[in-house]
Structure 1
């Protein structure tokens, strides 16, 4: 490696174009690519991605999952591959120019180098098996949320208060609240009793909607979440800080299990966040809502609250 392969006898007495078009020329380009390989994705030991950049990457991965696009293409849009010219100019062209000059094989060295570069790029590309996924390990984590809502858009999903402050007893009784409560493990009747909410439904509630699981937060924690939402409009979500490889490997059209997670109230418009630990592992299904990352939000939970993210480390899987 890093030694220019000797030119074969077939290179003598012919132009660079003629030589590179021969089988011997093709083999020599392959030897050159072996001696000077190009790796599109290479992580140095000192590389450290910020949470903001990993959240942005996670947003692209989640969107690709939902849109049916190639995950690797989505990741490459956020982390582009190393360009061939960097390897060529920093590693290949200098030794190659010196070797060709000593061999006195090329009457026009610059033209010959341009032709060789094209062939080297093609040969190096076929030998490079690196992937954008090689950049990320289990310690590279992003903020992952799952919002409990039947609406696609965040501003259509908000739960609101009748008062200019959050209060469980003053929440608007509507389908957004009913839907989220069912995923948290509560019926509307149970919520009315524990919150002493006497407000009439803003519109007719979904008939026959049952709770989807046993409660994942205790009644007093549910009231705490609402009363500490710090906003008159918010949504309920699950929250965890998960490895990028876990997110890449998910199938969002199947149930997803969060081994450890937190239930939170989040105002995605004004930037408020409050959480409590969920009871045990939680498995969600696609009909319950939608995943998003901190990269989908103007302010991620960590950005809002300066969270100590290792506390929220968790794993997710199908």
Structure 2
């Protein structure tokens, strides 16, 4: 690696362009590309990523996966690939000029160097297997949330308290509440019994939802979660800090398991967040809600609370 392959003795100094265009020249060009690789995405050991930047990248990844778009293309706006010309001018060209000068006795002209450059770039691109995922290590994590609602817009997905504070016994009984309760392992009847809520349901057709799993938390913890929401409108969600590497490879069209996570209430509009431990692992299906990252939010949970990161470390898998 990093050595210009020798030109064969049969190649005359004044016939190098003809040699490069011949069948005999192709292996030489291949060897040049092999000896001088270019990686569009290469991590430096000193690279450090801020959580806000990682959250923003995670938002692009999630959006691309939901849109069935190419993830690598989606993140290029924030993670532009390294330019081939940088490798060429700083690494390949100086060594190549010196080698050709020794072979011919004079400096190569620009036309010859350009011809070799184009061929090298094609060969190096064919050999480059790097991807944006290579820029990150396992200790670089993002804020991942899964909200228990399938509404496309966050403000349409909120659960509301009828009082000027978050009151466990006086929540608006609507589709958003019943959907979230079922996802957390409770029926509307169980919630009414535990809370004393007798509010009339806004419509009857959405409110008899069977529980979708064993309870993620006990009734007392559910009450604690609501009454510490610090807002009259909020989402129920799962929350964890996961390695961003896992987000690149996860398939959101299949069930996803949180190996460890918290259950939380969050007001994405006014910026409130409160969490309690979940009975993990927790497996969610596409129809159970939607993923989002801290990059989708004006204020992420970390922005709101200044969390101790290690306390929220988790992992996901299909």
TM-score where L is the length of structure 1: 0.92
Q: How does 1:129-168 map to 2 (within 5 A)?
A: 129-168=129-168
Which residue matches 2:198? 198
Moved more, 301-310 or 16-25: 16-25
Post-superposition offset of 1:311: 0.8
Summarize the Cα distance change of 1:185–1:152 in structure 2 as closer, same or farther, 3 Å threshold. same
Moved more, 277-286 or 103-112: 103-112
Summarize the Cα distance change of 1:4–1:254 in structure 2 as closer, same or farther, 3 Å threshold. closer
Post-superposition offset of 1:106: 6.5
Summarize the Cα distance change of 1:7–1:150 in structure 2 as closer, same or farther, 3 Å threshold. closer
Post-superposition offset of 1:202: 3.0
Deviations 1:215-258 (A, max 9, x none): 21111211111111111211100001112232233222222211
Structure 2 CA distance for aligned equivalents of residues 164 and 15 of structure 1: 86
Post-superposition offset of 1:298: 1.6
Which residue matches 1:80? 80
Post-superposition offset of 1:100: 2.5
Moved more, 293-302 or 39-48: 39-48
Post-superposition offset of 1:116: 1.2
Q: What SS is found at the alignment partner of 1:170? A: coil
Which residue matches 1:66? 66
Post-superposition offset of 1:77: 4.5
Summarize the Cα distance change of 1:16–1:165 in structure 2 as closer, same or farther, 3 Å threshold. farther
Post-superposition offset of 1:115: 1.4
Which residue matches 2:27? 27
Post-superposition offset of 1:150: 3.3
Structure 2 CA distance for aligned equivalents of residues 255 and 55 of structure 1: 22
Which residue matches 1:97? 97
Summarize the Cα distance change of 1:108–1:158 in structure 2 as closer, same or farther, 3 Å threshold. same
Gapped regions of structure 1 (runs ≥ 5): none
Q: How does 1:171-210 map to 2 (within 5 A)?
A: 171-210=171-210
Does the Cα contact within 8 Å between 1:10 and 1:24 map onto a contact in 2?
A: no
Structure 2 CA distance for aligned equivalents of residues 28 and 181 of structure 1: 66
Post-superposition offset of 1:207: 4.8
Which residue matches 1:46? 46
Does the Cα contact within 8 Å between 1:161 and 1:167 map onto a contact in 2?
A: yes
Which residue matches 1:242? 242
Structure 2 CA distance for aligned equivalents of residues 4 and 207 of structure 1: 72
Structure 2 CA distance for aligned equivalents of residues 87 and 54 of structure 1: 27
Which residue matches 1:211? 211
Does the Cα contact within 8 Å between 1:10 and 1:19 map onto a contact in 2?
A: no
Summarize the Cα distance change of 1:207–1:302 in structure 2 as closer, same or farther, 3 Å threshold. closer
Which residue matches 2:258? 258
Gapped regions of structure 2 (runs ≥ 5): none
Structure 2 CA distance for aligned equivalents of residues 26 and 105 of structure 1: 23
